[in-house]
A and B are shown apart, each in its own frame.
Chain A
Amino acid sequence: MKKYIIIMYMALALLTGCDGRSAGWQTGDVTLVRALGVDLTGAGIDLVAWGGDGERLSAEGGSVADGLNRLKEMGTGFVHFGHADQILLGEGFARDKMPDLVDFVARDRQIGPGARLWVVRQDMPREAADVAARLERLASTREAGTTRSCTVTQMMRAIAEEGSTLAPALSWEEEELRLAGYAVLRQGRLVGFLEGEQALGAELLCGQGAGQLVAVTLPDGAPVTLSVERASVCCEPLLAEGTLHGAQLRCSVWLEVVQGAPLTAGQRREAVRQAEEILCRRMASALACAQFWDADFVGLEQHLRAACSAQEWNGVDWARGFRTLPLRAVVSAEVAWPADVMEE
């Protein structure tokens, strides 16, 4: 028995992994990369790594793997990418090379596929500091226009299904990264950006949008601001003679008055009517963009396929038909705080 135990312990000693790591790992001299920036340059790929303590490394390479290898050689400590949970993509890279990055992360043992993707409009802000902290702040903030996130896995899924998805967009203004709507990616390639009302409409179409503000003006000229508490979307096929000839997206929205004097019942009805119009316009503008870019980021195909019978879906050519399918957005809103209503 003793000899077996000795052999077993000797085998375990071989598995400690002490010999395969660099000296920096053993001594704790490690640069933990929290955010990674990837963009195109003339020569190939430009990579920037931001550490949690403000440290910044940058390198160029022929591919993502080559660039990361060069980054590993930089600095004084062991560069570890296992904590990189934010990936910043330059606009040029997102247009052409996204599938390369996704394929790399899918195989890489350090960078997790749960890392969030952000698309920077125009060029990568190489000189930016503390990007990791800023992105974490943005990711945790429920600001209007940013409630949807996109991870590498979600992008992998969109590419595998030949579908479309949204990723939050950023702009570099006044030495700070700011939210700038959404980037629309079809089959993993950037096709355009949704801004302002379009971005808010896209959130509503995806059944999100909590925190959006809706400003209305009552007939007596008093301004009232409503906030979206929650929203849900139901997709209904419009059928004629057993074939699909359109779809209706019915969005139910619960609102709360956040600014303005207490409302009478009549004023509340008027406020709700105006809010429904505004929200409907937002959704319609986002749908128009989706059809223009042929990017079904709402997942309409799956909703409609589930709602239609096999016979009704048989004649549908979604790949060609989505752009021209008549789509209708309908909003029904409720103000969720009846205590705010005054007696008339």
Chain B
Amino acid sequence: MRNVAARQHAAWCWAASLAPALTVLPGAGGWSVPLLALPAVWAADRLLRRAEAHRGWDRRFGGALTIIYIMWAVVLGGTQLRIGVHRVGTAVNLAVEPWLLAAGVVLLAVWMARGTPAACARWARMVLKGTLVALGGIVLLSLRQMRWESLLPLWKGGVDWFGVTGLTGAVLCVRVYGGFVSEDGGGGMRYLPPVCLLLSALLVAIEGNLGTALAARVEDPLLTLSRNVGVEGTFQRAESLLAAGLLLVDLALLTLLLWAAQGRLGRFWPTVGLAIFVAASLPVSAAGMELFRNWILPVGNFALGLVVPLFLLVVGRAKDGKTRAYIVPENRGNGTS
């Protein structure tokens, strides 16, 4: 479909996945969640890829699916942008209104979506590597303050299956949008082990440094952890750096969503950028954001990342290939949009 190197496309998808993945992660006590999500994502990817599950059903329903996916792109992008801007506002004193920062990020994403996807993918690869190094650094710096006994017993509280579902859904959903951009079908699995291991290490660090009770009380445990790490004589805390870095991850997600919209909506794609900005700037109560963060995002991601493609796989297998609709068109101009 579009000329993006497979390795760079994979990095773009994984950089974009980090934004919803960090949102749906449990605060503490769930270090096993990323490790359990790892085989789930891998198996789902193999299943959907082998069966060409992106294809199925007919044109009418394909059109409806496209509308649903574009609407979810607005919800996902708007929520992540709102969370990212709020995170920056929590870390530093913003001298401007938050919506101005959101507008700046959306404008940047629109500008990037006017270039070439290959350039975005190259940029996203740097963002992914930089973010992984930054998060790894936070884990390493937090080790010396860890209270290891608070990790025991290792299986206290059992497995957070809702967290596993949410994380699996977040990664798979972004991969579907990645499939809109390139024929690679949502990026490879080469970044799956390092990302999952790092997310697991982050949860261990949060548990060991903050404990389950405190992590449940603070708004953003990762940000609180980063406020406690530093190197004597150089920097005492890293929350502003982390908040800025994670805003780049949100930007990677927005560019991916806008490129996906560009493939679906043609010249009307900038309206998705505008809709994302409006969704990120609308006044929403704290309780409403909690609802989005804890329930709507994980469930929606899982539904559109795994349930719908699986459904299409089953239906596509049951019917012959002539009357198919596609989430991802087989060839340019031969899809649902």
Contacts and interface: CB of A to CB of B under 8 A. Distances in A.
A114 B236 contact: yes
A113 B152 contact: no
Q: Label chain B's interface by main secondary structure.
A: helix
Given A160-B217, A299-B147, A302-B152, A109 B107 contact: no
A153 B152 contact: no
A20 B114 contact: no
B214 A112 contact: no
Given A161-B213, A302-B149, A303-B149, A4 B107 contact: yes
A59 to B, nearest CB: 21
B102 to A, nearest CB: 10
A43 interface: no
A84 B243 CA distance: 21
Contacts of A113: 224, 227-228
Nearest to A14: B100
B96 to A, nearest CB: 6
B152 A306 contact: yes
B114 A109 contact: no
Interface of A: 1, 4-5, 7-8, 11-12, 14-21, 83, 85, 106, 109, 112-114, 151, 153, 156-157, 160-162, 299, 302-303, 305-306
A160 B213 contact: yes
A234 to B, nearest CB: 11
A8 B108 contact: yes
B294 interface: no
Closest 10 CB pairs of A and B: A20-B95, A17-B95, A306-B152, A160-B213, A160-B214, A11-B104, A114-B228, A157-B214, A161-B213, A112-B237
Interface stretch (B66-74, B85-93, B253-261): B85-93
Interface string B41-58: 000000000000000000
A160 B147 contact: no
B90 A151 contact: no
B150 interface: yes
Most buried by A among B92, B211, B230, B237: B211
B91 A109 contact: yes
Interface string B197-237: 00000000000011101101110000010011110000011
Contact of A17 (B91, B96, B147): B96
B311 interface: no
A161 B145 CA distance: 17
Given A114-B236, A302-B149, A4 B104 contact: no
A1 B114 contact: yes
Given A157-B211, A160-B214, A114 B237 contact: yes
B236 A112 contact: yes
B271 to A, nearest CB: 15
A303 B227 CA distance: 28
Contacts of A18: 95
Given A7-B107, A83-B236, 6 more contacts: A4-B110, A11-B104, A18-B95, A20-B96, A106-B218, A113-B224
A84 B87 CA distance: 22
B21 to A, nearest CB: 25
A299 B152 CA distance: 12
Given A113-B227, A160-B211, A161-B214, A14 B111 contact: no
A85 B233 CA distance: 12
Interface string B248-284: 0000000000000000000000000000000000000
Contacts of B218: 106
Interface in B275-306: none
A113 B227 CA distance: 7
A301 to B, nearest CB: 10
B159 interface: no
Contact of A4 (B90, B101, B114, B228): B114
A240 to B, nearest CB: 22
Contacts of B150: 299, 302
A114 B230 contact: yes
A171 to B, nearest CB: 26
B157 interface: no
Contacts of A153: 209-210, 214, 224, 227-228
A8 B153 CA distance: 52
30 contacts: A4-B111, A5-B111, A8-B108, A12-B104, A14-B96, A15-B96, A20-B96, A83-B236, A106-B218, A106-B224, A109-B93, A112-B228, A112-B237, A114-B228, A114-B230, A153-B209, A153-B214, A153-B227, A156-B210, A157-B211, A157-B214, A160-B213, A161-B211, A161-B213, A162-B213, A299-B150, A302-B150, A305-B152, A305-B153, A306-B153
B284 to A, nearest CB: 20
B103 interface: yes
A305 B144 CA distance: 23
Nearest to B154: A306
A302 B224 CA distance: 23
